[in-house]
A and B are shown apart, each in its own frame.
Chain A
Amino acid sequence: MIEGILIGLTTALTLQNILMVMIGCFFGTIIGMLPGLGPMTAIALMIPITYGFDPATGLILMAGVYYGAVFGGSTSSILLNAPGVPGTVATSFDGYPMAQQGKAGKALAIAAWSSFAGGTLSAIYLLFMAPSLSKVSLSFRSPDYFALMILGLTAIAAFSSKGQFLKAMMMVVLGLMLASVGQDSLSDITRFTFNNMNLTDGISFVLIVMATFAMSEALTIILKRNDPTSAAKQVSLTELGSIKINKEERSKMYKTIPRSSIIGFLIGVLPGAGATIASFLAYGMERNVVNDEEKEKFGKGSVNGLSAPETANNAACSGSFVPMLTLGIPGSGTTAVMLGALLGFGVQPGPRLYMTNPEIFWSIIMSMYIGMVILLILNLPLIPYIARILAVPKNYLIPLILFFSITGIYVMSFNNFDIYLMIGIAVVATFMRLYDFPMPPLILAFVLGGLMEENLRRSLLLSNGSWEFLWGRPLTLIILILTLSIVCWQLFKSLKK
Chain B
Amino acid sequence: MNINTTKVISLLFFIFSAFYLYTAYQIQVFAFDENAPFNARTFPIYLGYAGLFFSGLKLILPDPNTIKVQHKTLEYKKTALLIVIAIIYGATILKVGYFLTTSLFLFSSYYFLGERRWFLMFLLSFPFVAAFMYLLHGVLDIYLRDPFLQSIGVMG
B119 interfacial by beta-carbon distance below 8 Å: no
When distances are taken between beta carbons in the complex, the residues of chain A under 8 Å from B44 are 177, 180, 191-192
Q: A465 touches which one: B37, B40, B86 (CB < 8 A)?
A: B37
- Known pairs A187-B39, A435-B9; A395 contacts B110 (CB<8 A): yes
A212 to chain B, nearest CB (A): 15
When distances are taken between beta carbons in the complex, the residues of chain B under 8 Å from A385 are none
B27 interfacial by beta-carbon distance below 8 Å: yes
When distances are taken between beta carbons in the complex, the residues of chain A under 8 Å from B89 are 406, 419
User: Which A residue sits closest to B27, measured CB to CB?
Assistant: A191
When distances are taken between beta carbons in the complex, the residues of chain A under 8 Å from B145 are 414
A423 interfacial by beta-carbon distance below 8 Å: yes
CA distance A340 to B27 in the complex (A): 27
Does the CB pair B9–A460 fall under 8 Å?
A: no
Does the CB pair A423–B73 fall under 8 Å?
A: no
When distances are taken between beta carbons in the complex, the residues of chain B under 8 Å from A456 are 38, 42-43
Interface locus among A63-71, A166-174, A271-279, A313-321? A166-174
Question: Restricting to B96-130, which residues have a CB under 8 Å from any CB of A?
Answer: 98, 102, 105-106, 109-110, 113-115, 120, 124
Question: Restricting to A441-497, which residues have a CB under 8 Å from any CB of B?
Answer: 452-453, 456-457, 460-461, 463-465, 491, 494-495, 497
B149 interfacial by beta-carbon distance below 8 Å: no
User: Which A residue sits closest to B124, measured CB to CB?
Assistant: A396
Q: B142 touches which one: A166, A225, A411 (CB < 8 A)?
A: A411
A284 interfacial by beta-carbon distance below 8 Å: no
Does the CB pair B67–A189 fall under 8 Å?
A: no
The B interface, classified by DSSP as helix, strand, loop or mixed, is helix
B45 to chain A, nearest CB (A): 10
A96 to chain B, nearest CB (A): 27
The 0/1 profile, CB within 8 Å of A marked 1, for residues 2-15 of chain B is 00011001100100
B82 interfacial by beta-carbon distance below 8 Å: yes
When distances are taken between beta carbons in the complex, the residues of chain A under 8 Å from B51 are 170, 173-174, 177
CA distance A456 to B61 in the complex (A): 30
When distances are taken between beta carbons in the complex, the residues of chain A under 8 Å from B113 are 222, 394-395, 398-399
A434 interfacial by beta-carbon distance below 8 Å: yes
Does the CB pair A163–B65 fall under 8 Å?
A: yes
The 0/1 profile, CB within 8 Å of B marked 1, for residues 385-404 of chain A is 00000000111101110110
A410 interfacial by beta-carbon distance below 8 Å: yes
When distances are taken between beta carbons in the complex, the residues of chain A under 8 Å from B62 are 497
When distances are taken between beta carbons in the complex, the residues of chain A under 8 Å from B76 are 223
When distances are taken between beta carbons in the complex, the residues of chain B under 8 Å from A247 are none
Q: A395-B114, A403-B102 are in contact. List 12 more A-B contacts (CB 8 A).
A: A166-B58, A180-B44, A396-B110, A396-B124, A400-B124, A407-B102, A410-B93, A411-B142, A420-B90, A427-B83, A456-B38, A465-B38
Where the two chains meet, the residues of B that have a C-beta atom closer than 8 Å to any C-beta of A are 5-6, 9-10, 13, 17, 20, 23-24, 27-30, 33, 36-44, 47, 50-51, 54-55, 57-58, 61-62, 64-65, 67, 69, 73-76, 78-79, 82-83, 86-87, 89-91, 93-94, 98, 102, 105-106, 109-110, 113-115, 120, 124, 132, 136, 139-145
Where the two chains meet, the residues of A that have a C-beta atom closer than 8 Å to any C-beta of B are 48-49, 51-53, 163-164, 166-167, 169-170, 173-174, 176-177, 180, 184, 186-187, 189, 191-192, 219, 222-225, 393-396, 398-400, 402-403, 406-407, 410-411, 414-416, 419-420, 423, 427, 430, 432, 434-437, 452-453, 456-457, 460-461, 463-465, 491, 494-495, 497
